[in-house]
Each structure stands twice: as C-alpha cells, then as structure tokens.
A and B are shown apart, each in its own frame.
Chain A
Amino acid sequence: MNMNVIEASGLGKRYGGTWALSECTLAIPAGHVAALVGPNGAGKTTLLNLAVGLAEPTAGGVTVLGGLPPGSPAALDGIAFVAQDMPVYKNLSAADMLHLTRNLNRHFDQPYARARLAELGIPLNRKAGKLSGGQQAQLALTVALARRPRLLVLDEPVAMLDPVARHDFMATVLTAAADDGVSVVLSSHVLAELERVADYLILLSRGRVQVAGEVDDLLASHRLLTGPAAEADRYSERPVVHVRRGEAQAHLLVRAAADDPVPPGWEAHPVGLEELTLAYLREPGAAALPGPGRDRTLPFETGQPSEVTR
C-alpha cells in the first residue's frame, strides 16, 4: 500500500480572476480515511474536482492512484466520486440507478449493491427523487462502492444530512474502508464527525495546505497547556500554535510530545482532533507538514500566533 492516492505538486486552479486553489502540494497515502478540512472557500471542492478529472489544473499537476492522470480510463476505473449534492437521477428508480451505473462501468458488484439497499430498507422500485435525503445519499454511496473502487472520493458527504443519516452514512464508508481496503478521501467542515472517522488529516486554508499527517501523529505531537494568563506570553519552550486567553487562565496549543517537561504552574492535557483543527484554522500562518526524509518529526514553520481573547 505504499502509494499515494492523490498527489499534487504546485497545483493551482483559477476561475475567472480568482484562484480557488494555489500552490497546493500534498500527498495522500493509500489505506487511509483522509479528511480534507478547511473553511468555506479554502479550495476543498476544487481540489477534489481536479483529482477526479472534472476540472483541469491552471497550474501545477495532480496524479491519482500512484501516478495516473485524473480522468484517464484507468483513473476513472479506480475512483468513485460522490459529489456534494449527492447526485442521483431523481426520475430513475433505485434499481435503474444500479443498472445505469453497471452499464457505465467495466465492473459493478450488483449483488453487493442489492444487498446494501435491502439492508438499508431502500425499495428498489422507488424513484430516487422520492427517497429521503439520507436514502438518496446512501443510494449514491452504494452505487459508488459497488463499482469496487480503489479510492472513494466524497465531497462534503454529510453536510446536508441529519445526525442519524450522517452516522449511518459514515458507518457505510468506514465498513468499506475496513473490510475492502478502500482508500477514502472526504472533505468536510463538520469537525465533530472527524475524530471518529478520519485517520489522516489535511487542513486546507486559503488554497494552501496548512496541516497534513496521520491523526495519531498529529495528536501525539501536540499538547494543550493550561496556566496563568499572565505568564502566557513568557512561555517559549515549545512552539506555540495558538493561544486562547480566559479571565485568569490561558490555553496554549503547543507542539510538544507527551513526555516533554511541563513548566511549573502549567498543566498539560492531550488534545482532541477537533480542538487541534480549530486551533490551526484560527492560525492560518501556522503549519504542520510532513517533509521528505523527516517522516516522524514534523517540521514547524510559524507566523506569529495572534491572540484570541475570550
């Protein structure tokens, strides 16, 4: 599995006069459920469209599945894409959606698709337009997975779903990833869901990659320090990503391992993925990126962390 499912180098896309994505260099290794996170307008959808071949880069290049050009027959064959609005043909029945997808692809696992829909209680003869939002999403996901892709790309898959449908949808994705070894790349701005789902994180901000790495590594290399607010500015042992100030106490997200010494008067806590992501989202200047030959140690570059007062 030593392959990158998506690999971009200096990738940029301009729509009219606006760069939706610029100077994007990243590699998403196979065998992960990778979450692409970022504020609205960060270029998540653009990056995914480029990777599935729906858009052409303005600058730089992108390859998929270990070096294939996006949109090439082999790439189309190995990648299933579910777009943001879960497109299904509303006037076709669920059974027709299966037939349609089978006819548009070299392979299609019809028994799997039928079994999935039966399990989900989606009637085969019902028009897709008459299914609930959650069922439409499940139908779109089922036809995508029945293609037996090597890579499943999901653009904001849960944004429009209610909590139950969201849970069921992600359960299907995780099952596919665990049982069939499908690599998954999904974009999302629903942070709460990520901790349960993703084991690889890419944080995109203003069209650039800010954080990339395995979730376990990222969590292991960050600590949340809580101490007196007055001393927050004097802390300098470890790089500070983000400072959150309260009345008396300050919370510092720092890049430090679990066994790093904690200064007197300060308390160290492990950080959650949501908290970590939020901290980086608030500090567009900070970055945590893997680099060639520096596999386990994340190089650090930082702008001056701004202070957020609460």
Chain B
Amino acid sequence: MTALTTPARPKRDAGLPPVPWRRMAWVTWRQHRAALAGVAVFLGALAVYLWLTGLQIHHSYAIACHPASSLDCTINFTGRYGITAIVVSMVLQAVPALIGAFAGAPVLARELETGTFRYAWTQGIGRWRWTLGKLVPLAVTVAAAAGAFSALFSWYNQPFLAAGYVMPFSTRVFDLRGVAFVAWTLAAFAIGALAGMLIRRVVPAIAATLAVYAGLAFATTLYLREHYMTPLLTSKLSLPGSAWIVSQWYARGGKFAFPNHGPQIVNALSRYCPGTSNVPAAQCLSRHGYTQWTSYQPGSRFWPFQWIEGGWLLALSVLLIAATVWLVRRRAA
C-alpha cells in the first residue's frame, strides 16, 4: 500500500508534443460537415435565386434606363423590380443570424446537452485546442461563404444603386454589401458559439443567438452607425442623393431655432408661410431669416463606413470566440 502524501507540488509536464492541428481539422470536418452543407445549400439556393433574377434585372436596366432618370426606367425597371428588391434585401438581413444560430450555437451546446463533452474534453488534445480547432475553421468557412454571397448581392443590387432607387447608406442594403456582411456573419457565429457555451442547450441557445443578433443589428443601424465619423455640416438646400442625412434644423441669427420636425416648425410655417404649401419650407423660411442646417454623411464615405463596421465587428467576434475558449478551459463540469 502506498503511503498518503500531500500532493503539494505537481510535476511539470514532460514536454509532450501537442496533437497536430490537421488532425483536429479532420474532427471538425467530420462532426460539422452536415452543418456546413446546410449553410452551403441555404446560401446556394439564395444565390441561384439572386443570379436568375439578377440577370433579368440587369437586362431590364440595360434596356430601360437611358438615362436612369427617364420615365421608362421608373416604369419598366424600378416599377417592375423595386418591390422584389426590397423584399429580397429584407429577407437577406436574416441570413447572418440564421447562420450564427444554426451553425454556431450547436457547436458547444450539443456537446454539453448530450454529455459528449465529457468524452471530448478528456482526450489527449486538450480542451482549449479542441475548442479553437473547431471554432476558428468553422468561423473562417462561414465568413468566406458570406463573402462570396455578398459579392453576388452587390452585383444584384448594382442596377438599383445606379438608378438611384436605393442609396449606399440605406439600412436595407448597407450591411448586405462589402465587408459588413462578412463581419456580421462572423459576429453571429461567435455570438452563437458563446451562447451555446453559456446556455448549454441547443434550442435555447439558438433562440438567444437570434435575439442577441437582432438586438445588436437594430442598435447598430438605428443608433451607432451614424456616429462612425463626424458628420459634415452644410446650409445648402440641395444635397446629392447618395448623402445620408443625419439631422436637419433651422437657425436664426447664428442660434439654433428649432428642429426640422415637431410642432415648432409647424407653428413657424403657419406664421410665415401660410397657404404656400407648394413652396418648399426651407425656401420660404429662409426669406424670413432662417437658415436650414443639415448634418450628413456623404456617399463617398461608404467604404470608410464599411471598414469601420467590419473592423469593430471583427474585433467583437475575436473577443467572443476568445471568451468562449476561456470559458471552455475553466468550466467546471
């Protein structure tokens, strides 16, 4: 019988070589190929639809829109395809959330729900390598698929931009194009992975992923995006259509008078410009000493905004995945 001693000083590990990453790649592929195939089929079906309708749209634009401001263009191009484009862009808003919920959330939640984590986390590879070896390749793969898809969407959307039917900063399409769509998909995946780790059950983790993603996307669109760069300020009355107007107000004698909405401007209009509804309010009020000020983001800032949004979402995704790995490392069973 061996005497009992105090296990005070654990020996150092005898420098075992780690299990190679490529073996983990096989594991990840084998266990998640069904989910990846699901993503591929889902995006593939949407892509085929975009491609087929996109061809019609490009054809119709080429025939009808000389110039883009012509009545023919309005009737035969935007009139015919405009509603479809709106519906398509609204449906596509949900794509990153669905990828995050159905490809990201189950990665850890399923292991925890079925108890297989007790197998997975006691293998020789060690749990943080296991976690990293799953999350990083999956995240990169869904991000790459999202990148290809958003390139196709940009092509689909191009005629509507050219016809002035949709603006670059439009909330419908800004995050479906460029790097933003990739970054949103990545963030959704990372949210899903962390939710799965925290909630430990597949279905609630999917629901939580959808809810958190929706909250983040709405908050970004409604409150955050306009602050990426300091808006430009102008007192000109006509701005290019691609500009994103952040706010408008009237000033008199160099001092703020009232915003371009609400009861104050209604009062001012009824006082200074009664019965002149066909004269634009700004013109009428300027004759009475009011200046209309507009703060706006010019259309040329589209790509800086894309990179800012892509950048912080990428940082957030890295942070969430790191938090997930950290939780896996120290989670008590």
A residues at B contact (CB < 8 Å): 2-4, 7-9, 13, 15, 25-27, 29-30, 49, 52-56, 61-63, 66-69, 71-74, 76-77, 79-81, 83-85, 87-92, 96, 99-101, 103-107, 140, 147, 213-214, 217, 290-293, 295
Number of B residues near A (Cβ < 8 Å) is: 42
Would you call A54 and B333 a contact (CB within 8 A)? yes
Which residues from B are CB-within-8-Å of A55?
Answer: 332-333
CB distance from A101 to the nearest CB of B (A): 7
- B7, A293: Cβ atoms under 8 Å? no
Cβ contacts under 8 Å, A213 to chain B:
1
Inter-subunit contact A104/B2 (CB<8 Å): no
Closest Cβ of chain B to A106, distance in Å, is 5
Contacts of A68 in B (CB 8 A): 10-11, 13
Judge whether A85 and B10 touch: CB under 8 Å. Answer: no
CB distance from A41 to the nearest CB of B (A): 16
Which residues of chain A come closer than 8 Å to B124, judged between CB atoms?
73, 76-77, 104-107, 147
| Contact assessment for A83 and B115 in the assembled complex, using a CB-CB cutoff below 8 Å | yes
Name the distance in Å between A300's Cβ and chain B's nearest Cβ: 16
Inside 8 A of A103's CB, which chain B residues have their CB? Answer: 19, 23-24, 26-27
B222 at the interface (CB under 8 A from A): no
Q: Is the CB of A81 within 8 A of B122?
A: yes
- A76/B1 in contact, CB under 8 A: no
Residues of B within 8 A of A96 (CB): 30
> Hey, which chain A residues are within 8 Å of B34, CB to CB?
91
A-B CB contacts (within 8 Å), total count: 137
C-alpha spacing A210/B96, complex, angstroms? 56
Residues of B within 8 A of A56 (CB): 330, 332
Q: Give the residue of A8, A73, A90, A100 whose beta carbon is less than 8 angstroms from that of B13.
A: A73
Please pick, from A25, A66, A100, A292, the residue contacting B30 in the complex, using a CB distance under 8 A.
A100
Q: Are B7 and A63 in contact (CB under 8 A)?
A: yes
Give the one of B3, B7, B126 with max A CB within 10 A.
B7
Q: Determine if B6 is an interface residue (Cβ-Cβ < 8 Å).
A: yes
Which of B1, B30, B122 is A295 in contact with, Cβ under 8 Å?
A: B1
**Nearest CB to that of B19 among chain A residues?**
A106
* Residue B114 interfacial (CB < 8 Å): yes
Evaluate contact between A291 and B4: CB separation under 8 angstroms.
Answer: yes
Q: How far does the Cβ of A271 sit from chain B's closest Cβ, in whole Å?
A: 20
Could you tell me which residues of chain B, from 313 to 333, have a CB within 8 Å of some CB in chain A? Answer: 330, 332-333
> At the interface, yes or no: B121 with Cβ under 8 Å from chain A?
yes
- Write the B101-122 contact mask toward A (1 if CB under 8 angstroms, else 0): 0000000000000111111111
Say whether B30 contacts A101, CB under 8 Å: no
Is B31's CB within 8 Å of the partner chain A? yes
Q: Which residues of chain B have C-beta atoms less than 8 A from A147's C-beta?
A: 123-124
A3 B2 Cβ-Cβ under 8 A: yes
Residues of B close to A66: CB separation below 8 A: 11
Residues on B with beta carbons closer than 8 Å to the beta carbon of A92 = 30-31
Specify which of B1, B7, B24, B115 is in contact with A85 (CB 8 Å cutoff): B115
Chain B residues numbered 14-52 whose CB sits less than 8 Å from any CB in chain A: 14, 16-19, 23-24, 26-27, 30-31, 34
Interface centre among A4, A52, A53, A77 (most CB of B within 10 A): A77
Which residues from A are CB-within-8-Å of B330?
A: 56
Contacts of B250 in A (CB 8 A): none
Q: Could you tell me if B6 and A105 are in contact, using CB atoms closer than 8 angstroms?
A: no
Check A292/B125 contact, CB under 8 A, given A74-B13, A103-B24, A105-B19.
no
Look across to chain A and name the residue whose beta carbon is closest to the beta carbon of B333.
A54
B121 CB contacts on chain A under 8 angstroms: 53-54
The answer to whether A53 and B11 touch across the interface, beta carbons within 8 angstroms, is no
- A290's partner among B1, B31, B115, B118 (CB-CB below 8 A) is B1
Name 13 interchain pairs, CB-CB below 8 A, sorted by A. Answer: A9-B6, A54-B332, A61-B7, A68-B11, A76-B125, A77-B124, A90-B114, A99-B26, A104-B120, A105-B125, A106-B17, A290-B1, A293-B3
